[in-house]
Amino acid sequence: MAFDGIFLYALSLELKNDLLNGKVDKVNQPEKDEIILTIRNGNKNRKVLISASSNYPRIHFTDRNKQNPMQPPMFCMLLRKYLLGGKIIGIQQMSSDRILTIDFESTDEMGFDSIYSLIIEIMGRHSNITLVRKRDGIVMDSIKHITPDINSYRSLYPGIKYKYPPESEKLNPFDFSLKDLQDKISYDIVELLPNSFSNLFVGVSGTLSTELYNRLTQDTKKITVESVDKLYIFFKNFFDGLKSENFTFTLYTDDTGNYKDFYCFPLTQPKDYKVVVFDSASKLLDTFYYVKDKQDRLNQKSADLQKLITNNIDRCNKKSAILKNALKECEKKDKFQLYGELLTANIYSVNKGDKYVEVYNYYSDVEEYVKIPLDENKTPSENIQQYYKKYNKLKKTEEAALEQLKNNESETEYLQSVLTNVKNCDSYDEIEDIRRELAETGYIKFKKISAKTKASQSKPLHFKSTDGADIYVGKNNIQNDYLTLKFAERQDIWLHTKNIPGSHVIIKNNGSISDKTLEEAAVLAAFYSKAKDSTKVPVDYTEVRNVKKPSGAKPGMVIYTTNKTIYVDPYDIKETKGRSFCPRTIVT
């Protein structure tokens, strides 16, 4: 992504404009590697999200609300101790690197005024947030502790002296001379390539390097004495233009609406992408990272569940293969029954010691003789009993295998529905609901649920159709059973994707249901199913009176009759409880 030092430079100007002289009103830590500071400046509150996520590290203003843990983490408590009520007196970027320092003037535990620096390192998996006492450089704490066995260059944990990451030997794009450029090119670069400038300047990403390469004229892409002079003028003009705060915060999407890239000015290379312009860096970052970061965190939170469910699906698939092989073997039972009956009818012509007997098959529609192998050490009666015994054994095996195969298919269908529900989760509460469901069905060890946890259980989604009808969507099998078997009335309409794992959808029937409402409910059923990325998804619908739950069936598993089918294309829905049905572009 293009969150490089240059973009951070543009963002730091925005932060300075709105945060300087502001005071810290709240400190929250909704994630283990993310904090949110609420800053009051004048009569306006601004929330600053600071993330040290390995995948999506960043800092920007946000208007989104995130759920906080019941018990604040230690780092959050420490920040509250030293920063609450503190005044922001400075915001500095280290060179043009992805390191930002915010200075707070606060009062220490002895009542004296002190300055604390919150140092934000936005460096991929090495990202971190550290609170440092400025007068002596002592680390108060960091959101990620780094010990000598993790990093031999520097450590980060309470009580030690803060040490910055190794300083880059690259050029500062906002402060370099012609001689600096000549020395760097003569020693480090042989031929200019699209990625050459990310190796030349601090804070220049691959995206910006390619952009600079594309903007160069052809004669300056070859390194000569004259081209270095031209390069210097080109770079000075370009970066001086950025100093004048000439920014246009631009987001690029593909035809399906997926976010692909962004930068602080229009790029020339992504010609096939659609362009969305924002009036601030924070609004761009909040839009770009919200869905990606949310899905990444949900996947991490549910990784153990997905692994558990996938392992059980694999087990069911292996069991199904074994049972099908057993059924194939059982196909021989009819032959053994035929041998037994033909030997019984011709027992007079069979003698002990015979290795086989050839008899007429009076069960066949055509005239034929059957050659039956015999055990020469057994009497004719014992040979007959042996064939009947084989027949009866295979018959019982077949009956048991068919029953087990039916149960195994039901279990596979249930696990597939749970896996679909996990992938469609939008909050931690929904993941915990599924965890409890799996505990109740015996797939994971049951844990006692506290009253607070019970109170936090998620509820089915509620939408209103264009015509004002109430539509409810279950997000897990417990909710599905509740909606279909307890909440819905007999005349309500029940929807579900045809032979595809997904959510139960209920339309409240208050007299008549329009075709538009039915279509919108079908879209919801398709979107909250395994087929959410498909087209022309079949959705069955019928009255709730026609839906039954078989005795002993797992959560969410029902049977239904007298249904009709509608085909729809799923698309994302604005999940605002009680609001009108509102489609929007799906973002993955």
DSSP code string of 428-453? HHHHHHHHHHHHHTTSS---PPPHHH
Q: Residue type for 13, please?
A: L
Domains of the chain in sequence order? 5-142 (2.30.310.10), 178-299 (no CATH), 306-421 (1.10.287), 460-588 (no CATH)
Ramachandran area for residue 249 (φ above 0: left; ψ -120 to 50: alpha; else beta): beta
State how far the alpha carbon of 525 is from the alpha carbons of 132, 195, 473, 570, in Å: 51, 46, 8, 8
Q: Give strand ranges (E) for 95-186.
A: 99-107, 113-121, 128-133, 138-142
- The set of residues, in sequence order, having a beta carbon less than 8 Å from that of 194 and lying 6+ positions away, is 206, 209, 210, 213, 214
DSSP code string of 208-260? HHHHHHHHS-GGGGS--HHHHHHHHHHHHHHHHHHHTT---EEEEE-TT--EE
What is d(CA 455, CA 46) in angstroms, rounded to the nearest whole number? Answer: 30
| H-assigned helices in 302-379 | 303-330, 333-345
**293: helix, coil or strand?**
helix
Half-sphere exposure of 41 toward its Cβ, with a 13 Å CA cutoff? Answer: 17
Which residues partner with 28 through β-bridges? 36
pTM listed for this prediction: 0.73
Question: According to the model, what pLDDT value does residue 454 have?
Answer: 52
Question: Cβ(464)–Cβ(578) under 8 Å?
Answer: yes
Cα first-last separation, the chain? 15
Only one residue has tokens 């007299």, namely 511
What is d(CA 4, CA 56) in angstroms, rounded to the nearest whole number? Answer: 12
Tokens of 436: 């409890």
Please give the angle made by the CA atoms of 544, 549 and 554, to the nearest 5 degrees.
Answer: 130
**62: helix, coil or strand?**
strand
Question: According to the model, what pLDDT value does residue 457 have?
Answer: 67
Nearest to 281 by CA among 251, 258, 257, 242: 251
DSSP code string of 468-535? S-EEEE-SSHHHHHIIIIIIS-TTSEEEEETTS-B--EEE--SS---HHHHHHHHHHHHHTBTTTT-S
Ramachandran area for residue 495 (φ above 0: left; ψ -120 to 50: alpha; else beta): beta
Only one residue has tokens 């400046």, namely 41
State how far the alpha carbon of 331 is from the alpha carbons of 42, 325, 390, 402, in Å: 84, 10, 12, 13
| Average pLDDT per 10 consecutive residues for the chain, totaling 588 residues | 87 94 95 95 93 94 90 95 94 93 86 89 93 94 93 91 90 91 74 85 91 80 75 90 86 82 85 87 92 85 92 95 94 91 90 90 87 92 93 94 94 93 87 90 72 62 91 93 94 95 93 91 93 91 95 91 92 48 34
Radius of gyration of the chain, Cα coordinates, nearest whole angstrom: 35
Question: According to the model, what pLDDT value does residue 349 have?
Answer: 87
Only one residue has tokens 């233009």, namely 241
What is d(CA 59, CA 47) in angstroms, rounded to the nearest whole number? Answer: 11
Which residues partner with 540 through β-bridges? 496, 565
DSSP code string of 351-363? -TT-SEEEEE-TT
State how far the alpha carbon of 249 is from the alpha carbons of 104, 263, 311, in Å: 28, 6, 45
Only one residue has tokens 């996990």, namely 422
What is d(CA 312, CA 412) in angstroms, rounded to the nearest whole number? Answer: 8
Residue 97's Cα: distance from chain center in Å? Answer: 30
Question: Cβ(404)–Cβ(329) under 8 Å?
Answer: no
Question: Cβ(487)–Cβ(508) under 8 Å?
Answer: no
Tokens of 173: 């794009």
Tokens of 309: 């469910």
Question: According to the model, what pLDDT value does residue 83 have?
Answer: 95
